[in-house]
Amino acid sequence: MKKSTFNLIFLLRKNKPFNNGEVPIIVRITLNGKRAEFIAKHNAKPELWNQTKGRATGSSLFAKSLNSYLDRVYINLTDSMRDLEERGIEVTAENIKNNYLGLMEHNKITLIGLYNEHNDKMKALIDKTYSFSTLQKHYSTIGHLKSFMELKLGVEDINIEQVNHQFLTEFEFYLKSEKNISNNTTIKYMRNLGKVVRNAMSLGYLKNNPFSTIRYSFDEVDRNFLDENELRTLIEKQLDNKRLDQIKDVFLFCCFTGLAFADVKSLTLDCIYEANGNSWIRKRRQKTGKWSHIPLLNTAKQILKKYDNLKISNKGLLLPVPTNQKMNAYLKEIADLCGINKNLTTHCARHTFATTVTLANHVSMESVSKMLGHSSILMTKQYARILDKTVEAEMENIKDLWK
């Protein structure tokens, strides 16, 4: 294989002097006999230039500064050649020059451009691979990125190669300090951005992973759930307002089935089947794609029966479920009316099913995990609580052993 020849020299264009007597410096790259040239950002006077060395002569501050600049150009151009080799791009004199000047196609790839492309592809896969709520989280992330770059960097977009460790740490700090976003939510935004960065790496737009030296740690969160007394209070509470009564029914249905909001909202008659003398829900979780198999308890059956004659939509939906935002707002009203001093949300119902309805009544962790549609039992443990009455009952079994 023939060895390639690379040469880099600096020349003066003496036929085009400026008024102050200086002339442009030409950077000439030669590779395998092919040349590429461009004009450097600095000029020099011919009488202060050593043509053989391609450097300024003398020890003046100007000469030292100019030679230092030319040394950096030389190093950066050799780095440009190695960069092309690592990316698998043809190494030519013209490509070395263009890569150095930022004129290659991969130099034109921007962060927001890549993120928009990611979101467009995700949008095309809604209800096939992704849920709309997942896409909304990426829309929120890109919105924060735009406001961060405009406020802190004074630009609307940046080259993807500018996404480095410093950019990431400053963006994280911005989310927490300027936007007052919690640590856990900030980490979720950073992980959304991480997905786009990994895509850029797989496409060859980034050589190194800027997240490689960054470690995130979630704060432990005490997730809300209703205890047995609070759950019974809610069941027995009579609400004259039809809207609130429907919201209460949907919330209770989730408490006794463990369904997430997106799954109860899309629940249809096709999801209900009979087996072994009992009614079951069989539904694929929208978030994970895992199947949930849930026997219907009496409370859940009664709620479904209550809405038997209600034609909610032409899609055959079984329950009157509003938007998640509206439902959470109405749940706050219901909590006040019931004297429940907890922040009721749709996810609180899922925690209540895992803790109060099932695990506290000796349903195994494995069964609860299957009903919740979790991909790992470790996820179920995040929902589970060891209640005082469970500890008391288990300790009751051994109290006579130690007299």
* DSSP code of residue 3: P
pLDDT of residue 313: 58
Q: Which amino acid is at 59?
A: S
Which residues make Cβ contacts (< 8 Å) with residue 315, sequence separation at least 6? 268
Any idea where the domains of the chain sit in the sequence?
A: 6-106, 109-202, 228-395
pLDDT tens by residue, 209-223: 999 999 999 887 767
Gap between the Cα atoms of 20 and 12, Å rounded? 15
**Could you say which architecture CATH assigns to the domain 109-202?**
Orthogonal Bundle (1.10)
Task: Give Cβ neighbours of residue 120 (< 8 Å, ≥ 6 apart).
Answer: none
So what's the pLDDT on residue 383?
66
For position 165, what pLDDT does the model report? 93
Please indicate whether the domains covering 109-202 and 228-395 agree at the CATH topology level.
no
Closest CA to 8 of 37, 40, 35, 30: 30
Series of mean pLDDT values for 10-residue runs along the chain (403 residues): 79 87 92 91 91 92 93 92 82 88 74 94 85 88 95 88 92 95 95 95 85 90 85 94 94 94 90 89 82 91 88 75 90 94 90 90 87 81 64 68 62
Does the 228-395 domain belong in CATH 1.10.443.10?
yes
Global pTM exceeds 0.85: no
CA 107 – CA 298 distance, rounded (Å): 62
Residue that has been written with the tokens 């130690």 in this structure: 402
Q: How far is CA 210 from CA 85, 110, 117, 201, 347, in A?
A: 21, 15, 20, 10, 34
Q: Could you tell me which of 53, 44, 52, 5 has the C-alpha nearest to residue 26?
A: 44
| Widest distance between CA atoms in the chain | 107
Detail the DSSP E strand segments found in 13-132. 23-31, 34-44, 49-50, 55-56
